[in-house]
Amino acid sequence: MTRHPAAVRKQDVETLRKHGLSDRDILDAVEVIAYFNYINRVADALGTDPEPEMLPALGRRRKK
């Protein structure tokens, strides 16, 4: 969903259902994924620095 949202198909949703996710679970996941994609793009566009605890995951160090 993050890299190719238009490539998500009904079959993908059916696979999630087969793994036990309810429609509500799938909706919750889609909303969380979409929100994080949105907010990360906003932060990138504004040049916002990541939270200090995220720096190691991004391979960065805190600015001095």
- What pLDDT score does 63 carry? 65
- Tell me the CATH number at 46: 1.20.1290.10
∠ CA 33-35-37, rounded to 5°: 70
Sequence-distant (6+) residues with CB within 8 A of 25 are 16
If one counts the domains in the chain, the total is 1
Chain centroid to Cα 44, Å, comes to 14
Residue 12 lies in a domain: yes
Give the domain range for residue 25.
5-58
**DSSP assignment letter at 3:** S
Residue 49 lies in a domain: yes
Residue for token digits 């969903």?
1
The widest CA-to-CA distance across the chain, in whole angstroms, is 49
**What are 36-61's pLDDT values in tens digits?**
999 989 988 998 887 888 888 877 76
Residue 63 lies in a domain: no
Residue 64 lies in a domain: no
Both structure tokens of 20: 């036990």
